[in-house]
Amino acid sequence: MKYAIALICLAAPAAAQDSPATFSLPAGCDAYLTVQTASCMVEHHFICAADPAGHQRRVSLDEQGMTYAGEIDAEAQWIASFHALSGHSERLSPNPAEPASLSDLIRDGVDPYDFETLSDEIGTTHYVGQDTLTGRQITIDDVTLHETAYEITAFDPAGTVLWQSQGNEFISRDWRMFLSGTGTVTTPNGIFDKNDSPVEFIFPGEPGFLSTRPKHGCGVAISSADIFEENSNDNL
């Protein structure tokens, strides 16, 4: 529960913003990267002194404000998240059957995973999937990313499929994290394609760092991401 509480507290500064200029970080946290994505989303990545070594956090904002707050560990393993649109929080269940590991992915070129998340609001969700390095690299703003192919399925406690997704993402070996890419998502509400790929990397001192305004792909009346938010964990 402590991670859910921390993430909800983390969400408060963004929700309280009257000006769309700059996102306010909680005390004791330092941001190192802002990402403008293709899907009218801006993301801020930061480290908090009170967190365990190697942990880092991300907050995502759309045109209306914060949509997501998450925490990962040094293996890019999902630890906890708060989903603002649905109002629920989740945390990683202890002792995963097959923990996700960025180190294994880099070493072996493939990393299967099998874990559960716990939520006071929506209960237990079981995830099974795999990340595979494709061998392709891209460079954005002088940042080199390595492409992955992914597939993931979410199940309820009875084993019923809640949603499935497959596509391509990216990893940063330097930042030890995943960045979203393109994919196809199947939910009870339908099938849709998504493109959350990074378009710009903005660093401390550069214009647009910690901006609350997304720049790319905005102006769509109804976003398929709203459908996905009701059935998924955003980007794990």
pLDDT tens by residue, 80-102: 999 998 899 999 999 999 999 99
Residues facing residue 170 across a β-bridge = 147, 179
Residue 126 near residue 113, CB atoms below 8 Å: no
Mean pLDDT of 109-122: 96
Assign 6 a pLDDT band (cuts: 50, 70, 90): low
Within-domain flag for 149: yes
The answer as to whether 69 is a domain residue is yes
- Which CATH number is 176's domain given? 2.40.360
- Average of per-residue pLDDT values in the chain: 88
Counted domains in the chain: 1
* Res. 3: pLDDT tops 90: no
- Name the band, by pLDDT with cuts 50, 70 and 90, for residue 10: low
Is beta strand 198-202 parallel, antiparallel or unpaired with respect to 190-195?
unpaired
Does the pLDDT at position 17 exceed 60?
Answer: no
pLDDT > 70? residue 204:
yes
Q: H helices within the chain, ranges in order?
A: 2-15, 102-108, 224-229
* CB atoms closer than 10 angstroms to residue 220: 11
Domain that holds residue 90: 2-229
* pTM of this structure: 0.87
* pLDDT tens digits for range 167-178: 999 999 999 999
Residue 138 in domain: yes
Of 231, 225, 209, residue with least CA distance to 39: 225
Mean pLDDT, rounded, for 68-74: 97
Q: Is residue 236 part of a domain?
A: no
